[in-house]
Structure 1
Amino acid sequence: MRGIPTAPLFLGLAGVIPFIWGALTYLNDDLHSWGTQMFGSRFVGPYVQLFYGSVILSFMSGVLWGYATKTSGGKAATCYVLSVLPALWAFVKTGGGPVSAGINLMYGFAGVLVLDAIFAYWQLTPTWWLRLRVTLTAIVLACLAVGVYL
């Protein structure tokens, strides 16, 4: 994680805690019961992952929108269109039950990583951005896979 500023690194890692927590409470019944008692049923298992995942996909749209402001003309228009796709994906594709929503979130996060790579290729992101996003996306996909495939 060399070269990634401390604040984005720690905030990014903190941002995956709900995904990790969701996977752990999915895998451990005692932790699930404790979490339900302490925080409520929305904050354990796949439920926390799905709701939070939708929020984060929408947040990533905002991040990409910010990067789109660094360009102009036709490229700016393309970037603005691309930047709204994660939020639209989350809105349209996260219904229909926890497994299908989890699969669709996995596709959404993989898609955001592709958009991150495009924006990085166009030199609209900080040089460390893609390294951070690959790491965070790998963690998110692994955690979502727990709810989808186990």
Structure 2
Amino acid sequence: MEDRRTAWLLGLAGLLPFLLTLGMAGWGPEGWQETAVRAFLCYSAVILSFLGGTHWGAALQNPQPGHSSRLLIAMAPSLIAWPALLFSPLWGLAVLCVGFVLVWGYDLSRSGRCGWPAWYWQLRTLLTVIVVLAHVVLLTHLW
């Protein structure tokens, strides 16, 4: 129970950099807005890569016959996130947003669910919805 509470607290706290940089990008001083967009992009790439790392760990902790592909899939978020930082902010945001949706889709698949407690999906869904909405808001602001 304590792990669940800690995971929820840390997960929600992990939204703060998204929300703070989103606020600064949209409503902060003009000189800070470009930096805030870049900070949002970098944090987004880090978190997307982190999500891949969780699957790497889950695959190693809970090996299942025929699930070796999970290790390969766990690399995909990093391979999406890193190039997204090389694109223009608008395209980078779009790629990262799609990356979060794809990882969430895999999380909900049979092999993606393996090894996680049942409550984890409520947390992942809430966090993903907020993160994707933050990307959409920033995309519409930049558009």
- Per the shorter chain, which TM-score range? 0.7 to 0.9
Tell me how many residue pairs correspond in the alignment.
138
* 1:119–1:15 Cα change, 3 Å: farther
- Deviation, 1:143, is 1.0
Q: Distance in 1 between matches of 2:134 and 2:127?
A: 11
In structure 2, which of residues 66, 73, 83 is the aligned counterpart of residue 74 of structure 1?
A: 66
Deviation readout 1:79-114 (Å, 9 max, x if unpaired) = 111111111111223322110000001001111101
| Alignment-derived partner of residue 62 in structure 1 | 53
**3-state SS of the aligned residue for 1:73?**
coil
CA contact (8 A) 1:93 1:104 kept: yes
Q: Distance in 1 between matches of 2:112 and 2:54?
A: 16
- Where in structure 2 are the equivalents of 1:1-150 lying within 5 Å? 5-30=4-29, 36=32, 42=35, 44=36, 46-69=37-60, 70-75=62-67, 77-118=68-109, 122-150=113-141
Aligned sequence identity (%) = 27
TM (norm. structure 2) is: 0.86
Q: Distance in 2 between matches of 1:109 and 1:141?
A: 7
* 1:111–1:121 Cα change, 3 Å: closer
**3-state SS of the aligned residue for 2:92?**
helix
Q: Distance in 1 between matches of 2:113 and 2:128?
A: 20
Structure 1, gaps ≥5 residues long: none
Q: Distance in 1 between matches of 2:70 and 2:48?
A: 16
- Deviation, 1:120, is 6.6
CA contact (8 A) 1:106 1:144 kept: yes
- Deviation, 1:47, is 1.3
CA contact (8 A) 1:26 1:146 kept: no
**3-state SS of the aligned residue for 1:126?**
coil
Structure 2, gaps ≥5 residues long: none
Q: What code does the residue aligned with 2:63 have?
A: T
Q: Which runs of 4+ in 1 moved over 6 A?
A: none
